Amino acid sequence: MEPAIKYRLIKKEKHTGARLGEIVTPHGTFKTPMFMPVGTQASVKTMAPEDLKEMGAGIILSNTYHLWLRPGEDIVEKAGGLHKFMNWDRGVLTDSGGFQVFSLAKLRDISEEGVAFKSHLNGEKLFLSPEKAIHVENALGADIMMSFDECPPFFESYDYVKKSVERTSRWAERGLIAHQNPATQGLFGIVQGAGFEDLRRQSARDLVGMDFPGYSIGGLSVGESKGEMNRVLDFTTPMLPEDKPRYLMGVGSPDALIDGVIRGVDMFDCVLPTRIARNGTTMTSQGRLVVKNAKYSEDFRPLDPKCDCYVCKNYTRAYIRHLIKADETFGIHLTSYHNLYFLINLMHQVQDAIEQDNLLEFREAFFEEYGYNEN
């Protein structure tokens, strides 16, 4: 049977682990490395599908935990699946809910069977198992689905992480068995193991043995330092097959994206661009710019003079500052649009640098201008 998801490696960058590729999905083919906007509750906050297309978004995220709780996967299924429900005809990826249970729900109890918890919405007692998560993702109809996993705290003990990795591998196998639409929905395995190289190897070996169409690197961007994240990526991405996509979950800032690409990551997602946009913080080629600061009240330049996005072509810092201060929602639409465009466009620039084998020079110039220092 033809797999729902295929990855084609186009070119490896000469001096790093970076690669140019494309991921083929039932809703289109998209170049990698790529940044995926997050639309947790079936909406990328304040963005219409037309905005997302205009900015070049290919795959967007939604979340099993949230949509199971509200409106319920059966309503989304009756609507014809997430693509119809959201009026979005490009790629959709759903996270499996495990991570959200740990970060959102109260009073949870984890067992071999799954996770018992209380809904963060109304305190209702709920239970999420690998089978339930996969069946919700089947009902939502995303092109790419995540296995149900536990994301242990990065600094947990070796023994706890080892037991967690082994259970996550068993959960992944149960998810593969429960998966009802492998021809149209690609299920990714999620590698765990915190900061322990041997546990990452054990997790990768288990999951690669199950032959998933793609692999996510989980358990990162959970409070560890950038140095720690890069150290884990250094030994984890080479454990994954070259002919499958690698997705680093929950990442991230411009520097983390570039450093992830250098270490062989193809796909990223993070709430950062839309989250900071809501308090008027924007990403520009010269670093972060908090547009609601008084110093921009008569600054009639675009957010980023080097940006060619719709917002930077048509609106000024002074106007956007006014909207944010006046609590006009159009203001956060503009900051959100620009921040998402900034990261999507950054990945396009990185693709060009891989093509030209000068990704390290690009990194140096970008870090210098953005104001990142190495320590």
Ligand X SMILES: Nc1ccc2nc(N)nc(O)c2c1
143: DSSP letter: S
51 is catalytic: no
> x/- contact string, 229-258, with ligand X (CB under 6 A)?
--------------------xx--------
**Shortest CB 263 distance to ligand X, Å:** 16
DSSP 8-state class, residue 1? -
Q: In the structure encoding, which two tokens stand for residue 264, read together?
A: 């062989």
Least distance CB 229 / ligand X (angstroms): 10
Among 143, 206, 269, 304, the one annotated catalytic:
269
8-state DSSP, 23:
E
CB 341 within 8 Å of CB 319: no
Largest CA distance in the chain: 61
Give the binding range for ligand X (CB under 6 A) out of 130-138, 179-187, 218-226, 280-288: 218-226
Position 219 contacts ligand X (CB under 6 A): yes
* Beta-ladder partners of 95: 63
Residue closer to ligand X (CB basis): 171 or 296: 171
CA distances from 365 to 22, 35, 38, 207, 258 (A): 26, 20, 28, 37, 12
Among the options 51, 95, 259, 266, which is catalytic? 95
Among 149, 206, 224, 304, binds ligand X (CB under 6 A): 149
Among 151, 207, 261, 359, indicate the residue that binds ligand X (CB under 6 A). Answer: 151
Clarify whether 269 is annotated catalytic: yes
**Residue type at position 265:** V
In angstroms, what is the minimal distance from the CB of 147 to ligand X? 8
Show contacts with ligand X in window 77-136 (CB under 6 A).
Answer: 95-96, 98-99
Pick the piece of the chain touching ligand X (CB under 6 A) from 48-56, 220-228, 256-264, 326-334. Answer: 220-228
Beta-sheet strand order (sheet of 91-95): 34-36, 267-269, 246-248, 215-217, 186-191, 144-146, 91-95, 59-63
Using CA atoms, how far residue 287 sits from 131, 195, 261, 337, 355, in Å, is 44, 29, 20, 17, 25
Distance in Å, CB of 330 to ligand X, minimum: 30
Per CB under 6 A, residues contacting ligand X are 95-96, 98-99, 146, 149, 151, 190, 218-222, 249-250
Catalytic residues: 95, 269
